[in-house]
Amino acid sequence: MVGNRAVVYSKPGVVEVSNTPYPDLVLRDGPGVNKLNVGRKCNHGVILKVVTTNICGSDQHMVRGRTTAPSGLVLGHEITGEVIEVGSDVEFIKKGDLVSVPFNIACGRCRSCRERNTNVCLNVNPDRPGSAYGYVDMGGWVGGQSEYVMVPYADFQLLKFPDKDKAMEKILDLTMLSDIFPTGYHGAVSAGVKPGSTVYVAGAGPVGLAAAHSAQLLGAAVVIVGDLNAERLAQAKSFGCETVNLREHPNLGEQIDQILGVPEVDCAIDCVGFEASGHGKDHGEAPATVLNSIMEVTRAGGRLGIPGLYVTGDPGAVDEDSKVGTLKIRIGLGWAKSHTFVTGQTPVMQYNRDLMMAILSGRAQIAKAVNATLISLDEAPNAYQQFDRGVSRKFVIDPHGLVRK
């Protein structure tokens, strides 16, 4: 029997590479698996040999102990792999196909999926609409930071790369299709970015960098990225963004005014989420900071894209309200300015094929924008520590050593 090794959440601040069960086409009981999903047959699924799988900022929320993730949870929802086993109900995906896996798990049959809202599929998570691999309270589907993983609903979900050899040449770009590139792009589309727009992106982590690159692809005239981390801001500047260091210059409106001549932008994108910090050198965590600041600097009638993660349960929050996702948001300001807010998981399948073509044609340079950095499976625990310290890299795990360096 072939074995399987995976990156596993152990306890707050600690991940380990452990031996885990080789996947089959049944969702077995295990850490984090919803009891109502145990024993679920997946003849509509496939087994993948993982080619690349990425560390995401959303994973870090769990690793920091900011969720109710159980010890032993296999992490990872950004998956690209080669099909090595096909379920009896799979018709169009074949062994040997190289595919991108949307992080949203979606059946393709419910009302949400039929309306292209695959981020809130009704049939994959017994607790609430929407699911993802290797994530707490998302149904318990096993994560993909591993050597092998099972993917259900293969015919509907999987994006097959048309030329395997050419895909491997651009695999560091294509691996971003499972989550952060569509997520950043969704943030930009939700914010209404169009040719000539002025755009503010809150957060220069990988999703913020992906949103900034997406805004450029959509024709934005000026993209301004704000963060507290100078290294991450330097990465944003490397591909043509204006930047604002909110640790050194806490007044966001003044900084935008210096760049644009007016203290506001046409639209804004929140790529930070619920672990936001206050602006300035001495401020600690303040979960509503980004949402309130982007309302302040977005023009009346503007749009706010909010792909940054907000949760209903945060045991490590700074106050009792925040522990249940209740934040002190100035909704009156947003109402007075007639802002449009778009929140929630990104429906990856609305964007991934178009973005694949942008990558294959050379139009999109997402790996360069997010500073994709290839590592082995055994290097993952150290990469988590580096990422938590704020290093400006997007770590891409190569479990089998298949990617040419």
**Residue-averaged pLDDT of the chain:** 96
pLDDT, one tens digit per residue, over 343-371 is: 999 999 999 999 999 999 999 999 999 99
Helices 180-190 and 352-360: crossing angle, nearest 10°? Answer: 110
pLDDT, one tens digit per residue, over 285-319 is: 899 999 999 999 999 999 999 999 998 888 888 88
The number of residues in the chain equals: 405
The mean pLDDT of 89-113, rounded to a whole number, is: 98
The mean pLDDT of 265-288, rounded to a whole number, is: 92
Q: Which domains does the chain have, with CATH numbers?
A: 5-179+347-397 (3.90.180.10), 181-343 (3.40.50.720)
pLDDT at 315: 85
- What is the C-alpha separation between 120 and 212, in angstroms, rounded? 25
The pLDDT confidence band at residue 68, using thresholds 50, 70 and 90, is confident
- What is the C-alpha separation between 237 and 127, in angstroms, rounded? 42
Residue 272 has pLDDT above 90, yes or no: yes
- In this structure, the number of other CB atoms found within 10 A of the CB of residue 137 comes to 19
- What is the C-alpha separation between 372 and 94, in angstroms, rounded? 29
CA distances (Å), 62 to each of 10, 13, 239, in order?
A: 10, 9, 30
pLDDT at 311: 86
pLDDT, one tens digit per residue, over 23-37 is: 999 999 999 999 999
The mean pLDDT of 390-394, rounded to a whole number, is: 96
Nearest to 157 by CA among 258, 243, 256, 79: 79
The mean pLDDT of 72-93, rounded to a whole number, is: 98
389, 140, 326, 315 alpha-carbon torsion, rounded to 10°: -60
User: Helix (H, G, I), strand (E, B), or coil: what is residue 262?
Assistant: coil
pLDDT at 171: 98
pLDDT at 316: 84
pLDDT, one tens digit per residue, over 199-252 is: 999 999 999 999 999 999 999 999 999 999 999 999 999 999 999 999 999 999
DSSP-assigned states of every residue in 5-49: EEEEEEETTEEEEEE-PPP-SEE---TT--GGGTTEE-TT-EEEE
- The two most distant CA atoms of the chain are separated, in Å, by 65
pLDDT at 2: 77
pLDDT at 114: 97
Residue 405 has pLDDT above 80, yes or no: no
Intra-chain end-to-end CA distance of the chain, in Å: 30
Residue 1 has pLDDT above 60, yes or no: no
Tell whether the torsion through CA atoms of 146, 150, 155 and 156 is positive or negative: negative
pLDDT at 117: 97
pLDDT, one tens digit per residue, over 144-167 is: 999 999 999 999 999 999 999 999
